[in-house]
Amino acid sequence: MTRCNRCGRTLKAPTATGLGPTCERYVLGSKPKRAPAVERRTVKRDELTPDLFAEDARQAVRRGFAAARERLAA
């Protein structure tokens, strides 16, 4: 049975470093991120289409004020 060299936890399979995955990360740091398979293109912001989410949020705020006003008036 293989055990981690650092914490002695049993390992399912022997590793190159002799450490478990958690200790390996602790000792060696997290693995470097893989480069994206598809190169990211910078997205150009669409200034012509109205921002519907922002408009929806504005209206929700307005509805909230209207509801509060009604509560206070009642």
Question: Does 20 contact Zn ion by CB under 5 A?
Answer: yes
Closer residue to Zn ion (CB): 8 or 36: 8
Residues 56-65: contacts with CB within 8 Å, 24+ apart?
A: none
Smallest gap from Cβ 44 to Zn ion, in A, equals 48
Tell me if residue 3 falls in helix, strand or coil: strand
Q: Among 22, 28, 12, 16, which residue's Cα sits nearest to residue 3?
A: 12
Question: Does 7 contact Zn ion by CB under 5 A?
Answer: yes
Instruction: Give the contact letters, 23-42, x = binds to Zn ion (CB under 5 A), - = no.
Output: x-------------------
